A and B are shown apart, each in its own frame.
Chain A
Amino acid sequence: MSEKIKYSNLNKRLIFGIILLIIVVAPVIVSVFWTRFDPNEVNYSEMLQSPSFKHLFGTDDFGRDIYTRVMLGAATTFGIALFTVAMGALVGTIIGALTGYFGGIVDEILMRVNDCLASFPSILLALVVVSLLDKGTWDICIALGLVFIPSFARIMRAEYIKEKNKDYVLNARLMGASHLRVIFIHIFPNTLPILFSAVLVGINNAVLAEAGLSYLGLGVQPPDPSLGRMLSEAKTYLFSAPWYEIFPCLLMILFILGLTIVSDNFGVSGVSLNAVKRKIAKKRDGLSDESFTSDNIKRDQTTVYNTTEETTIGDRTTDKVTAGKMDAGYEKKHDNKSGCEAIDKSECEAIISVRNLEVGFIEDDGIDDTLLGISFDLHKGEILGVVGESGSGKSLTAMSIMGILSDKAVITGGSILLDGKTDLTRLPEDEYRKLRGGRLAYVFQEPMTSLNPIQKIGVQIDEILDIHQSHLKEEEQKRLVLEALEDTGLHDVDKLYNMYPYELSGGMRQRVCIAMALVAKADVILADEPTTALDANVADVILDIFKHINQKYGTAIMLISHDLRVIGKLSDRVIIMQDGRIVETLNILEATDVNIEKGIDRLCNVGVSDNSDSSDSLDDPDNPDRIDIKVSKDKNINKGKKKDKREKNGTIDRIDRSEEFRFGTPETDYGKKLLAAAFSTKKYQNTEENEKIIEKKNILVRAKDLSVSYKSASRKLKGMKKVIDSVSFEIPEGCVAGFVGESGSGKSTLVKAIAGLQKYVEGTLEVKGGRPSMVFQDPYSSLNPAFKVRRILEEPLRLKNGFGRSIIKKNRERMLQEIVAMLHKTELEEDILNRKVSELSGGQRQRIAIALTLIQRKNLIILDEPVSALDVTIQEQILELLMKLKKAFGLTYILISHDMRLVSRVCDVVYKIEKGKVTPHPTSLRSATFPSRGRRQNH
């Protein structure tokens, strides 16, 4: 959209709350220093007078000025509330922080006591404590303060338990921060938002509790005023002098109201989503006539695909693109397909046509345009892959088609046509609803959360039939549900029907989700990263199911993935997206002979250009056998036969380049870059250097019969559980040592042991040069979110030089210089220093994590899945950077990963971890004990 829609992001409620609080509190503060009347001066001649200029709020039964008494009473009440909450928060935070962080027996006992205290109503406890103490104002403060401690302790304990397992805490410990420093300097700032709202709620409760105590005659003693006392004194005069009751009550209500409004709206955006959406809808309606004609369609994108846009939508013919842009030398996959004889235009009908679709997110400072006008067709019976990095808009596209955008997202322009006629973006909700689950189906990324956790599987699938085919009899419905479940390859469907999602594995749940798409025989399935959350072997099976469905029912499938490998396995065409645009469309090619010849040509070229060590490559291009296997496999898929599992597993460790050729040759730079990154075979091992390192035999880490145990968490299994079981290995200085294993294999325990953070370690473990530093998998959690980048990077220096105020001041400049130097080494700019981690991209964060390890100046760095949370192209950049730094600083890396491909490209030594055992991995370029000089000599 050219013109920005303007709206206000001011949260009016927050401002209202603040003003209310000021209005209430300001006169109270003034009264503390100056009042017109003595609050306790008795004047029987002016008893129970109604409000007047002299007595703004009237007078009470002793002729005292109510305004003065209300204000001073409020001062007492608010004072008591502030004191008690301060006391409760301070003591509660300390108790909660220590027990939550350390856990153990003290924590158990204190929490038991806390549970018991929670069963006494707080006012009851306060009552008893006051009655046991005395009835002075201080006694009330102490009684209420004591009563508030348990709730603060409980809240803070929960926060500390949540925070203490985050990577940034581990990181701080690795840097050498003491436990107390971690608790109060690192974790505490992250608990502030929760503490803040707990304090506000606490003040509210304290004010009410004071009133309650006063009513029972145990509060502030006469003649001194407090709001609670006045309220209870005034109740006898409710009819004769209502102002006596009303004014203290009003002040109290306004004060608490102000507090609640502030705490509710603090940090909440004031943008009214509905209002903005209405505005956009109105604007779109104004434009509607134009956007339906093809002349208006922008052609500013460099897509291969925009030829399609020339077809007028009102009178849809066909899609000419594919034919036009097809590389004549390559055979088309469409030829094999029954549903869509591609070249024959008339039969290649688009079921979904997206035209110039624009979607934006409603943010505080305006609409953040995320999809910038994309156009494509999804044909009947095809599998269309959509690939792109995070934030490129792939899921947003699918959700727009389905009409299930999140509240903040809104379609700002363009259209989505179903069957070339119905514009889904303007379809009334009721009619749209009939399409969802009926003709359109969606499979989500997260099978673990996508199902209703407390509803039976069968009921959840059946619901679709209830909605869309309610005319069917119950038995018929059940039969269809069971059929759909069977179609996804599930067994025992009768039993499954009555099971709950939590009883199923991730793969099974994803099949259930697919069954939902099948049960009403949808024409289109939008599969949004359907395998990303699953283990590799399960993912393959799920992909096979999609293929099977596509062939059996001719269902059009739009497959979204960040992973080109997944896309390549299934799709007929691929759309590459970047930053909300379609960069280009590729056709997936058959692995025919022509294809292979071309591929080999290309491989040789690529091999020479980007890999100096290509003859060492595992996927030896001169070995024709491998590609032959590939060909037969692909043919098998096309015939609908099941893949041979063994065959797949056999090639899993190898770098499979034939997959890459199937994408053809991208025309755009981004497409090339993406493909290159996804199928990169660049190797980082430097053989000559390694020879030297190995000959020196300077061992940095040596483990002999190392066992690491955990204290068993469950009480049934008393004693220790061995996670690492007497393992031995050596890591020479200057190399990259890889540890490969699945989740739960003991990888992270081993790493923690090497880092010196494990308690129960037996055997010998020598680590030269002290504690290593570490780069974590998730750069979102390994850097303290409460700190700015500069403060994060200063921490190791502070720990080294001491953190007294004067020392920090003295060192400020020097620290800054050192930090900036390291930032430059990690290819970051200085202006990043004053930003918070949450404002940075994943790649930037990981660079900061690397800079942080460099500042610690350790020569051993543990890399725990350092790139697996990043986008493919970023992964390559970070790898490149890490290797450059290794050379520059003479570092030694320990790389932990589940990704065999990555390990084989980077590591000099590879160990496999399995069920606590460590063995040298056969694919290691040199086996761990270096008996031979590696495979290179064999060639």
Chain B
Amino acid sequence: MNYYVKKLISFLATLFCVALLSFLLFQIVPGDAALSKLGTDATPEKIEQLRAEYGYDRSITARFFSWMGGVFTGDLGVSIKYGPITVSELISQRITVTVWLGVLSIFLIVLFSIPLGLICAKRPGGIVDTVSDWIAQIFMAIPSFVQGILVTMLFGLVLSWFVPGKYVSPTTDFSEFLKCMFFPALSVALPKIAMTVRFMKTSVKKELKADYVRTAKAKGCSKNGIMIKHVLKNSMLPVITFIGLIVAEVMAGSIMIEKVFNLPGLGLLLVNSIQNRDYNVVQAIVMYIALLVITVNFLVDIIYKVLDPRTAE
């Protein structure tokens, strides 16, 4: 079977599993949203009425299939907190911010970590290596929201490169929107850059020990030639997989960072909805975030295949 078809099938299968998991996770909720909306002094009749309205009185399988149907038709019920607005509307308003935050972060990660990793691995123990290693370790040790606060302080308040808390919607002015997104994306990316540089370094070091590098050296290839012509592409392969893996972490980071920068994305909505026990929304967001992650991983698989001709058909 064609590699791409195979990947597509496994992609769809994972999608289904993720939807199933997102659904099941919320079946263990003690008490339901109806109860939490009405408060403790609600009469049993009122609760029953609201439950019927939300469909909580049906069996699990019936609810699953109606929910899955909703996933495809875009009807995921209404938000309990935000009243008449449906979950889908709510999410479609917010998803742009999260997607752009993720895309920008990944762009920054790739942009910085690959050349840095190469330089560090070329001269292990050199100045660049030592300094960047220490910086990387420190960044990895700071919780992401603290980094967000630090970025706000340094670039927002001290250097005044951006106005903290300012947000322009992409429909009004797209370039302004991107400007607003840059520093949050940087905050999301920083710890991941640190991780990726370290990973890239390990990967390059491993490749440098490979037999084909010895062959290249025996050909008379210079150090730079070996790095660029042979090692770079080979050592990128595991890094691509690694970036696929940290996409989930980037998403996690954006949940925090959206709160720090007060960006109206899925993360902020999620945090608020959890506090409001608005499970219809939480469930949908959990699924959408997983969906984003799976989609990126699917793309990563395809990029991998293009770069590495050996990947099994």
Contact = CB atoms under 8 A, between A and B. Distances in A.
A437 B143 contact: no
- Among A116, A245, A438, find the residue whose CB has the most chain B CB atoms closer than 10 A: A116
A862 interface: no
A122 B143 CA distance: 14
A249 interface: yes
A418 interface: no
Contact of A272 (B125, B144, B217, B220): B125
A117 B289 CA distance: 12
B40 to A, nearest CB: 16
B127 interface: no
- Among A123, A245, A252, A261, find the residue whose CB has the most chain B CB atoms closer than 10 A: A123
B138 A434 contact: no
Contacts of A451: 212, 215
- Among B13, B144, B218, B271, find the residue whose CB has the most chain A CB atoms closer than 10 A: B218
B265 to A, nearest CB: 13
Interface string A213-256: 00111100000000010011001001000000100010011111
A118 B286 CA distance: 13
B310 A128 contact: no
A829 B13 CA distance: 60
B14 A115 contact: yes
Interface residues of B, number: 64
Given A433-B222, A500-B310, A132 B29 contact: yes
Contacts of A767: none
Given A124-B289, A502-B310, A260 B219 contact: no
A552 to B, nearest CB: 22
B309 interface: yes
Contacts of B145: 211-212, 215, 231-232
Contacts of A463: 216, 219, 221, 229
B52 interface: no
Nearest to B236: A454
B240 to A, nearest CB: 12
Contacts of B277: 131
B200 interface: no
- Among B144, B222, B274, find the residue whose CB has the most chain A CB atoms closer than 10 A: B274
A253 B142 contact: yes
Given A228-B143, A463-B221, A516-B219, A454 B307 contact: yes
Interface stretch (A41-49, A321-329, A442-450, A574-582): A442-450
Nearest to A499: B309
B303 interface: no
B297 A404 contact: no
- Among A113, A132, A204, A238, find the residue whose CB has the most chain B CB atoms closer than 10 A: A132
B297 A441 contact: no
A708 interface: no
A603 to B, nearest CB: 42
Contacts of A124: 251-252, 255, 270, 286, 289
A436 B218 contact: yes
Contacts of A211: 143, 145-146
A455 B230 contact: yes
A208 B143 contact: yes
A403 to B, nearest CB: 8
Nearest to B16: A116
A434 B308 CA distance: 31
B230 A132 contact: no
A123 B252 contact: yes
A500 B146 contact: no
A453 interface: yes
A204 to B, nearest CB: 7
B28 to A, nearest CB: 6
A122 B256 CA distance: 13
Nearest to A272: B125
Interface residues of A, number: 69
Interface in B268-313: 270-271, 274-275, 277, 282, 286, 289-290, 293-294, 297, 307-310
Interface stretch (B17-25, B75-83, B172-180): B17-25
B215 A121 contact: no
- Among B29, B145, B245, B256, find the residue whose CB has the most chain A CB atoms closer than 10 A: B145
Contact of B218 (A404, A434, A455): A404
B86 to A, nearest CB: 21
A454 B252 contact: no
A435 interface: yes
Nearest to A232: B145
Interface string B136-164: 01101111111001000100000000000
Contacts of B217: 404, 436
Contacts, number: 192
A260 B248 contact: no
B119 to A, nearest CB: 17
B210 A449 contact: yes
A123 B255 contact: yes
Given A112-B17, A516-B219, A215 B256 contact: yes
B214 interface: yes
A468 B219 CA distance: 9
Nearest to A434: B220
B209 to A, nearest CB: 8
- Among A119, A123, A513, find the residue whose CB has the most chain B CB atoms closer than 10 A: A119
A276 to B, nearest CB: 12
Nearest to A255: B141
A454 B233 contact: yes
A359 interface: no
B248 A118 contact: yes
Given A124-B255, A444-B211, A452-B212, A252 B219 contact: no
Contact of B14 (A119, A453, A467): A119
Nearest to B139: A253
A215 B259 contact: yes
Contact of A454 (B25, B221, B308): B308
A127 interface: yes
A463 B146 CA distance: 49
Nearest to B297: A119
27 contacts: A116-B18, A116-B21, A118-B248, A120-B18, A120-B290, A121-B248, A123-B252, A127-B271, A131-B277, A132-B30, A208-B144, A211-B143, A212-B252, A215-B143, A216-B274, A238-B149, A252-B142, A433-B220, A444-B214, A452-B215, A453-B234, A453-B310, A454-B309, A467-B219, A467-B220, A467-B221, A468-B220
Given A119-B290, A452-B234, 17 more contacts: A118-B245, A119-B14, A119-B18, A119-B297, A121-B249, A123-B255, A123-B256, A127-B255, A132-B28, A132-B29, A256-B140, A437-B218, A444-B211, A453-B310, A454-B307, A455-B229, A500-B310
Interface of B: 13-14, 17-18, 21, 25-26, 28-30, 125, 137-138, 140-146, 149, 153, 210-212, 214-222, 225, 229-230, 233-234, 237, 245, 248-249, 251-252, 255-256, 259, 270-271, 274-275, 277, 282, 286, 289-290, 293-294, 297, 307-310
Task: Pick the 4 closest A-B CB pairs, nearest first.
Answer: A121-B252, A256-B141, A437-B220, A437-B219
Interface of A: 112-113, 115-124, 127-128, 131-132, 204, 208, 211-212, 215-218, 228, 231-232, 235, 238, 245, 249, 252-257, 260-261, 272, 274, 402, 404, 433-438, 440-442, 444, 446, 449-455, 463-464, 467-468, 500, 502, 513, 516
